[in-house]
Structure formats: structure tokens, C-alpha cells
Structure 1
Amino acid sequence: MRDCSSKIQNICYDPSSQVCKQLDNSSLYGYCVNNGNCQQIDINQFIGRDTNFNCLTSLQQLNLGQTIQYCFNDPQSICQKSDQTSCVKYQDNYQIYLGYISGTGFCAQQNQKTSNIQLQQITNLNPNFCQDENFQIVQIQIPYVGRETNYSKCLKVNSQANSLIEFCISGYCIWNNTCQQIGFDKINISKLSNLQCAPQQQPGAIECGYRYLNVCMLNQMCYCF
């Protein structure tokens, strides 16, 4: 019988054990209440709960007066909106919620700061974006041509990276830990699959310096003509 599952907010009925559970703020974070039943919080249907222990799905709006108590701890998949109104499966909404800010657990969003005092590590930042010197998430476009691995920092052309380069955008390749335009010296006209700049006729080319040079690709190698 389910009579034990009363309207007390932190009491729920567990169908698997057929007993009631009492949830509190410090324990049993693995559960939430949905229609009186205890539900597991995970990366599937219910990814968080509010301060009344109600289960929350991704981007579910809170009832008036409620706040987020807990979002499932999975930086690879779930973040919390910075206004603390929703838990979000960010890779299902990757054009708006761009990654997981490690220092706060909040979602990275375009033109929003990750912090007011320092750069933050960001898990799975959308590859079209980077973190600039003002701690803001911005789109990678000129003057930015690449991104560093550490802090997903924005990288300008010919600027020395402080950590390894994660990638350079189309038209640019990695040279001495900088992003250079492909063919910048009229010698390194190839961008290889490892993203490095290389001379002509190097196997594994994914892009050639077409823009300013007479270059073509044949069998994954760049040639001057």
C-alpha cells in the first residue's frame, strides 16, 4: 500500500523496496520525488531536484519560490543555468549551453563571463567558442583563429600559446605553438591531420593554402602549380 507516502515533501515511496524514504538536504542526493514516488536522479529522465525535493527534467522551469537544490554531477553531460533556474543536459542544447564551467558547475553561454576574477576550466566547450582575456565566452572569429587546451583560451594569429594548442580554425595551422595562416611563408602550404603546418607533398593533408597561393590537393597531399 502507498498510504505511507503522505504529502510531506521529503517523504517518498520506493516501489522497488516497497518502503518509504525520507530525503534531506545532506544525504540521498540520488533520489527525488515525482508524484509521491522516489525516483533515481541520473543522466536520463530526472537530472536534478528543487528545494522541495521535486524531480526536475532538463530545462524544466521551477515552481514559484523554488530554487535548484541539486543537479546530477556529470560534467560531461549536465550543467546548471547561471540564474539557478534549471538543470540542463547541455549537449542536447549545444548551440545555447556551450559546456560545463568547472569552478561553478554553471553552463557556459555566449557573451557571458565564466568568472569575475580569473579564467575557468571548461569541460566540452563547443568548438566554435573560446574564453577571452576578460573571462568571457566568445565565438571564434577574427581576431581569434584558434584555442588553447588550458582554459579553452582564445588565440590570435601569430600569438604564442601558453599551453598546447587544441586547434586552429580553417585556413590556419599550428607552427611553433602558434596559429599561422596556411602558406604564411610560401613553404608550409599544407595543414596535416595533426593540425600542424607542413611543406608540399606531405601525406595526410586535410587543407591547403588555397587563398593566396597556386595550390591544389591530390591524394591527401598539397602541391604547388
Structure 2
Amino acid sequence: MSMHDVNLVPKSIEDRIARGRASRRVMAAAACMGMMAIALSSSARWIDARSSAQIAAARQSSAPVIALEEELASLRAARGAIDESIEIQRAVGVSIPASALVRAVALSLPAGVLLEKIDLDYANVQGTNKKIRRTNRDAPMLRELRGEIAGIAANESDVGRIVDGLSALAPISQVSLESSRSREFRGQGTREFRINFKVDLERRWKLPEFASVDSSKEATK
């Protein structure tokens, strides 16, 4: 006699049990996925916070370097502007006003000297009409101011004092007496002179200060 299992559970109940088991498996899987999502979200927030802290620390530590680079950039720009101004000045500018030099020359002359001529000529400066003849193309042509004065002095000693006075002026160099000869002026014997000098426009200097003629007259009163 064979034995057979008899299932007394109705089909509807079996289906409901199967659906319940499937639902529990789905809920368990959903719970696992939710927990994984929460873990991933927490990990992402932690990584983001750590990255923000590292970026803030890097910015704080690099702030002095960035400030130094900005300062260096501004200094380079300022230096470029200064160099450009110097080049423009060298190309077309003149270091001194001619009127100031003329006044300094006139005030350096001894008393009684009559100045008949003063001539100033800029050399090696852009804008002059004279052609520059170069012996060596690589040698720079230095800018200079060439001057000449002519007049009458009482005697040869005064002529020597004129040369010494011009040589003592800060900007003037290469003072040379070109000529000195006797001349009768208003019935008296005098010395007629002609003196040349140069001024180096590449150097920096300051004209000496002289007391004006009017101030000297007031001081002697």
C-alpha cells in the first residue's frame, strides 16, 4: 500500500502565504538598499566636509603666497611703466630746462662781466636736425648739451674766474677757453672771451641755488 501526502491547505491560502513571503523579501531588500543609501549619503557628506576643510586650509596656507605674487605683479607693472617713461624721456626729453641753466651760468659770472652771447645746442637728442656721425654702431650716443658763452671781462684774471666758476657748477663739464683777446670797450681796455662747455644729460644732478641780483642789492643796503 503506497503512502501519499495529502495537502489539506486550500490553494488560496497557499497563494497568500507565497505572496507574503515575496513581500517580506522585497521589504528586506528595500530596507537593505535604504540602509546602503543612508550609508553612502553619510559617507558623501563626510567626504565633502573633509574636502571643504582641506580646501579652506589650503587657501589659508597659500594666502601669503598669493598676496606676494599679486604684490610682485603690481611691482612688475610699476617697473614697466617707469622703464617706459625713462625710454620716452631718453628718446624725446631733455633733463633740464635751458632757462634754469642760463640763469645759473649768468649768476656764476664775476661782477663787472658783460655777457654778449650764450648759445645752447642739444646733441644726440631725438628731434635735433644735425646728423649724427657714428664711428661705432654698437657704441651708444650719449645725450649732452653743448654751450658757448662770449662777452667782455675787465681783465685776464676775471676770465680765469669765469672758467673756474663754470667748472664748479654741478652739471657743467669740459669747460674750455676758446679765445681771449684785448678789446677796447667804452674807451677802456678789456678782455674779450669765448668759452665752451658741455652738460651730460645722462647723469642726474641738481643746479646750485644762487641768491638773485635783487636780493644781493637789498642785502648790501
TM-score normalised according to structure 1 size: 0.18
Greater per-residue helix proportion: 2
Structure number with the bigger relative contact order (C-alpha 8 A, sep ≥ 6) is: 2
In terms of Rg, which structure is larger? Answer: 2
TM-score normalised according to structure 2 size: 0.18
